[in-house]
Amino acid sequence: MAYTETTTVGYGSRITNSVKGILSGFLLLIIGTVLLWWNEGRAVKTAKSIKNAVEQTTPVASLDNYNQALNGQMICASGFAKTDDYVSDPFFGIGETAIRIERKVEFFQWVEHSQSKTEDKVGGKQETTTTYTYSKEWTSSYVNSSEFKDADYQNKNFVLMSNIENADFQAKNVTVGAYILPEGMISSISGSEPIAVSLSAEKIADLNKTVAQTLSKGDSLNFVTVTNNQVYLGENPNSPAIGDIRITFTKVMPATVTIWARAVNNTFEHYVDAKHGKGVGGLYMGTRSLESLQEQAESSNNFLTWLLRLVGFLLVFFGLKGIFGLVIALLKVLPFLANIANVGISIVCGVVGFAWSLVIIAIAWLFYRPILAGILIAAVVGLFIFLSKRSKDAKAPEQATETPAQA
């Protein structure tokens, strides 16, 4: 069942908010500008760090034997990551000789969804109608139903909430040939697969008792169901009820990995370029060549660069919109005028924001990429010349002279 709430903001309050928005706009403009500048430096430093790492890397055919000559060297090598550690979940007693045991916990509960519709009224008021709907869903975290708009939908206190959160249990001793992997590289090993779950009679009885007491349903009911790699806490797994919990277990087994890192005695450490301060490399799944790792690192750097450029432009755009927001707010007395002004201001802010972003990037490139900086500055100048010419062409018909009348 849906719950609807309507709120109204007066014209005076909207003007006040728009004035505050001017300050927020300048702040967004500054943050966006700084981000654009910093991102260009980050991109160049990362690219140079990748290049330096590749130039310093020694490809190694095998790590089966310890090689003193590799100590302190940047290497790239593939091998089989294995362990003899028995890893287990201490609460459920589920374990196996593996790289990692993973526990995923999900709760069946009410989830609130909202959808709002805003309408401007003549006179400057703004009316917002929000519709709240509720659905039963499996979620990975607890939803606090005390904050729901409709008090009829309440989530129960989840049994053993403090004990059965998501958790990973990782082996401490993992090797590739004669070398020991550091904890950070062990965490990078992936490839989960189901693990067969089996609980002791004592653990099942203990869980049943705890769940029953939490739900105030006595001590004898059966609330624990074990199927394949899942433990279900609730009366009926086929018909989930609010408050039920399901816990899924997976494992990460030994696998072939590729290491691109600095060898330090019989282990590895993450490479950080001494000149530019950017980290490169790590542990990758499967057998990989140095060329493919370099290409992946460069692609990731390029993707992040363009993503942050987009974020920077949007911050600048919304900052400019915030600065000119007062103009739109003043026109809200007549909503259709405000809508027209909003479209016009959005176009202007978009063009100015794009040009502003290009200028900041170009100036940054003067420091980091001087050769390409001139090209970008020329593009900005060309944009303004194009817009200026287009504006003059649009006015030309109005300035044409009329044909003299015949005598």
Residue 67 sits at φ, ψ, to 5 deg, of: -125, 110
User: For residue 3, what pLDDT band results from cuts at 50, 70 and 90?
Assistant: confident
Contact present, 101 and 249 (Cβ < 8 Å) = yes
Bigger pLDDT: 177 or 14? 177
Q: Give residue 163's pLDDT.
A: 65
For residue 403, pLDDT over 80 is answered with no
Task: Report the relative pairing of strands 174-176 and 267-269 from DSSP bridges.
Answer: unpaired
Q: What is the pLDDT of residue 376?
A: 66
Threshold 0.85, pTM exceeds: no
Q: Is the pLDDT of residue 320 over 60?
A: yes
Say which range, 33-42, 192-201, 304-313, 324-333, has the weakest mean pLDDT. Answer: 324-333
The percentage of the chain sitting over the pLDDT mark of 70, rounded to a whole number, equals 91
- pLDDT grade, residue 217 (50/70/90)? low
Query: What pLDDT, in 10s, does the model give residues 107-132?
Result: 999 999 999 898 878 877 888 899 99
Q: 244-275: per-residue pLDDT in tens? A: 889 999 999 999 999 999 999 999 999 998 88
Per-residue confidence at 400, pLDDT binned at 50, 70, 90? low
d(CA 310, CA 324): 21
Tens digits of residue pLDDT in 178-209: 999 999 999 999 999 999 998 888 888 888 88
Residue 34 in this model has a pLDDT that exceeds 80: yes
Task: Kindly tell me if the per-residue pLDDT of 406 is higher than 50.
Answer: no
Question: Does the pLDDT value for residue 21 go beyond 80?
Answer: yes
Name, in order, each residue with C-beta under 8 angstroms of 352's C-beta and a sequence gap of 6 or more: 320
Distance CA 354, CA 315 (A): 11
Q: How is residue 305 written in tokens? A: 């660069």
CA distance 322 to 53: 44
For the chain, what percent of residues have pLDDT higher than 90?
55
